[in-house]
Every structure is written in C-alpha cells, then in structure tokens.
Amino acid sequence: MSAPVYLKGDKAGLKQFLDKYDVFLFDCDGVLWSGDHLFPGSVPTLEMLRKKNKQVVFVTNNSTKSRGDYRKKLESMGIPATTEEVFGSSYSASIYISRILPQSHPQLKKKNKVFVVGEAGIETELDSEGIPHIGGTDPAYRRDVTPEDYKLLAAGDPSVLDPDVGVVLVGLDFHFNYLKMCYAYHYIKRGAIFLATNVDSTLPSAGALFPGAGSMSAPLIAMLGGQQPMAFGKPNQAMMDAIEGKFQFDRSRAVMIGDRANTDIKFGIEGKLGGTLAVLTGVTTKQEFLEGDTRPAYYVDELGDLLEGA
Amino acid sequence: MSAPVYLKGDKAGLKQFLDKYDVFLFDCDGVLWSGDHLFPGSVPTLEMLRKKNKQVVFVTNNSTKSRGDYRKKLESMGIPATTEEVFGSSYSASIYISRILPQSHPQLKKKNKVFVVGEAGIETELDSEGIPHIGGTDPAYRRDVTPEDYKLLAAGDPSVLDPDVGVVLVGLDFHFNYLKMCYAYHYIKRGAIFLATNVDSTLPSAGALFPGAGSMSAPLIAMLGGQQPMAFGKPNQAMMDAIEGKFQFDRSRAVMIGDRANTDIKFGIEGKLGGTLAVLTGVTTKQEFLEGDTRPAYYVDELGDLLEGA
C-alpha cells in the first residue's frame, strides 16, 4: 500500500490533481461542514470546480432526506446545488428496486410494493420512481402492538399483511417501534426481499452519536438468524453503479473526497475511481489515514486547500 | 456424545429416573403447555412429583413478568405454584445487580440506579431487591425524540442523564423506541454496565415468532461496535447460580426438563446438573435431539410419560 500524498501547499501537485479528474464526488458532513458549521473554504472550492466545468456530486448516506430535501439543506448551509447533483441512499435504493431488482426477481414485476421502515425521504424517492409503498410515515404504524396484531400477523392475514409487498426497505426511522419490527419480520419471513438504505449503526449529531439506520436493521438481522440486508449507502457499490448509470462518466477521471476511511475512501477505492482524497476535518484522523487498512491516494488538511491549485 | 435414552414405556427406567433427582427444573412453554393449550399430563405429573417431596422450580426467560405475575399465569393455566418456585430472567438479573455486581464493581455501592429498557416485570423484581430504577414503563420515555434531546444527551446534561445510573438493563420492551435507544446508548457510553435479562432474539406467540428481548439489545450491540451485554436467561449460568443460591441443592441430584436443545438442555448440561430430560412437545425435533450438538441424557414424547414411573 503506497503512502497517501500530502497536497497542501504543493501548488504543482494540486494543479495536477485538479486536471486529472472531471468528476468530484463529495461526502458532505465532515468535508463541507461539521454539524451546523460551514467550513470557510467549501463555497469557494465548489465555485472554483464549477468554473473549471467539473461535475460535482454530493453523495450522502442520509436516508431520511430526499434529494430535494438535501438540496435545500445544502442551500441552507450556503451551498448552491441542483437536485440532480445529489445522490442519497434512499434514491439509490429506489433506483435499484425499480430498475435492477425486477431483472433478477421476476416476481417483483407483479408484486413490487415496498414495506418501508423509515422517514419521508424514502417515500419521496420511491414515489419518484413510481414504486408503491406502505408503512413509513403512516401514523397507523405508530402505535402499540395488540393481542389482535399477534393473531393476525401469525396467521398471515391479508387484512394486515398486504399480499403485494415484495420488498422490505429499512432506513433510519425516528419512529421505530415494536409493531414495525413485527411487520418487517413477518413480510421477510413470507418472502419479501430484505433491503436497507444503509447500515451505519450510528448517526453523528450535536457532536455525539445516536442510533443510525443500521440500528433499525440490527433486530431484524438477529431475528432472521444473521441474514443481512442488501444495503445501498457508501461504501456499497450499488450506490456507485447508480451514480455512474446517471452521469455516465469515466471512473478513471473521477475522485471521491471524504473524511471517513471505512465509508468514503473505501467507496472510492472499491469503485475503482481514478483517485481518493481525504480531508482531516471529520471523523478519521491523520494517523488512521496514513497507517490504516484503507488509505486515500491524497490528503489535505481541509477542502479549501485545493484552492491553491486553481 | 452418548445417545439420549428414550424412557417412554420403560417403567423400571422411569422409576430409576424419578429416584435419581430431588430437584426438577422446568421450562414451561413447550413443556407444560403450548400457547394457550395446557398439556393433559402436566398437572398430574407435577402433583406426582410434589407427593414424592421433589422440589419443583419453574424457570422462564420471560422478562416482562415478575415471579408473582408468572405464578398467576401458572395458576391461570391450572397449575398450582408458589412465587418461590418461579425463577425468571428479571429476578435473576435483579439478584445479580443487588448481591453480586457490587463485589466486582465497588462504584455500584454508591451509583446503583438502573436505567430499564423493558416492562413492569423488571421493575417489580428490581423493587423486590430494593434497587432504584428509571426508564421502564415511565410514560416520559414513550415519545418522539426532539432536537432538544440530541443537544442535552450529547452534552451529558444531568437534567436528562441521571448521574446515579450505573447499570443499563435491557429486556423485552413492547414500547421500545428511538428515544430509549438513545438513552441506553448514552448511559453505557458514560460508563454504565450493559446487562440484558436475556438475549432470545425472538418470542414465540400465537404459533409464530415476534421480536424478543434480544431484539432490544441488538441495536445497542451494533452501536457499541459489538460489545455484548451480560445476560441472565437460560442457558446463561448466572441464572443457575442464582437458583442454586436460593435452593441450596446438590447439582448432581437435579434435572432440567425442557423442549429446546440450545437453551434448556444446554442450560442443564453447562450447569453440570445430574441430568437433562427433553420433551418432544415444543421447538426442538426428535432428530435434532438425537443428532444435534446438544443432546439430553433422556427424552420422552411428552411430560405425562413420566407418570408411568410413579
């Protein structure tokens, strides 16, 4: 494994770096901002890249927001963006369900309703692909389990278990509860395909960690005796395939920029991109990037360091 | 591994079996009854054992019921029992927290409040041992998470995170939600000891499976990077130690009777009891008992088969 190249202050190296790529994939939290704090170099760097006619893509594992929601978030942070430039795990999952899954699972051509564990972002993306869904934000699932539920679920009664459900899609759900676990489990046991937007077990917020989408899959995995869901967030390559499908780019001319070795940098390396760039403004430390198992091709202290190469 | 001995119809063998033991530990569901259906041989068999002055103990992993609740359940099924004869995972955990944990963790002598994820049965058993607790059935935790929660939890604010909490105890919780996950995780990250009444991922009901206590631990284990709780249900030997502590019996003169190889029979074998007896009225099949990794010393078709040896 070769050592990551430190580009800060290396004007010629930075210029070469910028010339080498046409497509810049960005992780956001920890790269462009941290929590509510926008890094000062983020907006000028993005402007510089756009002036050079680079394709910019914002790649997020956040399943609770649709691409439109996420564009609004970017704009609220002061970063102009279009919905087309945003790639989220809910969108990636929706594309997979509508376009790819029916090829390998012909039964889904007739029975493609999705039982959603998650928030509105998933529903919006499923709607955008025309996929029918139940569960999700429906208040009917935000209640206690009853003895009647046990009986009807155990019997597979079609009044509670919709026979058209062919997929269970699990993302971050702030309204997760016992009843939703029961439904998701029984649909999967009756043959529905088990998918997860992403399996990050934690969600960083306010400088600490909270339950992530992986915490909603974990009980199901345990109940199913270890069966893992197919997942779409970084570093899963289903996401990279979806991004490539959309932008039709040459992977050797693309670079992934991120703050986490085991998600962002791994995503770029396994996707066989032309390069990976780490920033030191997020989760993974310099030492981990230099000595860990997953090393970026390049690193800088912060994103704004790229400006010197312009 | 020697082959399990089939006792049904073997009058001399059955008589020898009954003479060999003074203490009969019973799993209940699948042995004495199935769901709402009491097996016809259960009551006469228990009567026969009592007449012979055998000690009968009902051992259950069900954490939602206290011993008193469980005695009522036994009586509602037509089985006379005393509270003293019942051993549940919540009681076992409570004894451990009050009597054993403070020896190895002196900080608990001052800071022994328990944050409970679970139902009333856990609270009743903690009360019976005089252990202070929060969480559990308190309706204040049955609500959505708010942005304020994130800030206060991240800051470790004592107005939300009680500084006296030294233990997180996780059992089956029909009111499990995102907020409880947040609290349990933050208490453990701040040093609380992670315990589980039991880690059965599923709960049999109405002839199907539903989320068990292990489904409440699973998200926490994922968030904690794989850290496992200490657990008290069968086959965990903390439960056997507690039973022995109470009844002061000779393990070689005790037998465990159950329908599940990987919980009941394993519990008896690892507890070095004098014997184990499997019944074929529950989860594990005859073939699994005869050919599996965990084999009972004896087996009968159903509990009532023991009557022939009386």
The verdict on A155 touching B (C-beta cutoff 8 Å) is yes
Contacts of A182 in chain B (CB under 8 A): 210-211
Distance CA A292, CA B54 (A): 62
**Is B222 within 8 Å of A201 when comparing Cβ atoms?**
yes
pLDDT in tens, A108-129: 888 899 999 999 999 999 999 9
Residues of A in contact with B182 (CB under 8 A): 210-211
d(CA A86, CA A67): 6
User: Helix (H, G, I), strand (E, B), or coil: what is residue B302?
Assistant: coil
Per CATH, domain B108-231 is 3.40.50.1000 = yes
Contact B222 A205 (CB under 8 A): no
> CA nearest B210 in A: which residue?
A182
Task: Check CB contact of B207 with chain A, cutoff 8 Å.
Answer: yes
pLDDT tens-digit readout, A229-260: 999 999 999 899 889 988 899 999 999 999 99
Residue A36 is predicted with a pLDDT of 82
The 3-class SS string of B203-246 reads EEECCEEEECCHHHHHHHHHHCCCCCCEECCCCCHHHHHHHHHH
> Does domain A106-231 fall into CATH 3.40.50.1000?
yes
Given a contact cutoff of 8 angstroms between Cβ atoms, the answer to whether B171 and B198 are in contact is: yes
Q: Is B29 annotated as a binding residue?
A: yes
Measure B49 CA to nearest chain A CA, in Å: 35
Residue A1 confidence (pLDDT): 66
d(CA B256, CA B273): 7
Report yes or no: A21 and A275 within 8 Å, Cβ to Cβ.
Answer: yes
Which residues make up the CATH 3.40.50.1000 domain(s) of chain B? 5-61+235-309, 108-231
Contact B219 A201 (CB under 8 A): yes
**pLDDT of res. A91:** 95
Q: Which positions in chain A touch B190 (Cβ < 8 Å)?
A: none
pLDDT tens, residue by residue, A75-100 = 999 999 999 999 999 999 999 999 88
Using a CB–CB cutoff of 8 Å, tell me whether A173 touches chain B: yes
B27 is annotated as an active-site residue: yes
Q: Is B148 on the interface with A (CB under 8 A)?
A: no
- Domain limits, CATH 3.40.50.1000, in chain A: 5-61+235-309, 106-231
Torsion of CA A171, A174, A177, A181, to 10 degrees: 0
Q: State the residue for tokens 């389990």.
A: A145
Whether the CB-CB separation of A158 and A99 falls below 8 Å is answered with no
Fold of the domain spanning B5-61+235-309:
Rossmann fold (3.40.50)
- In order along chain B (310 residues), what is the average pLDDT of each group of 10 residues? 92 97 96 91 97 97 95 95 96 92 86 96 97 98 95 95 97 98 98 96 89 97 96 93 89 97 96 98 94 96 96
What token pair was written down for A213? 């989408």
- Tokens 């009050």 correspond to B98
Q: Is the pLDDT at A282 greater than 80, yes or no?
A: yes
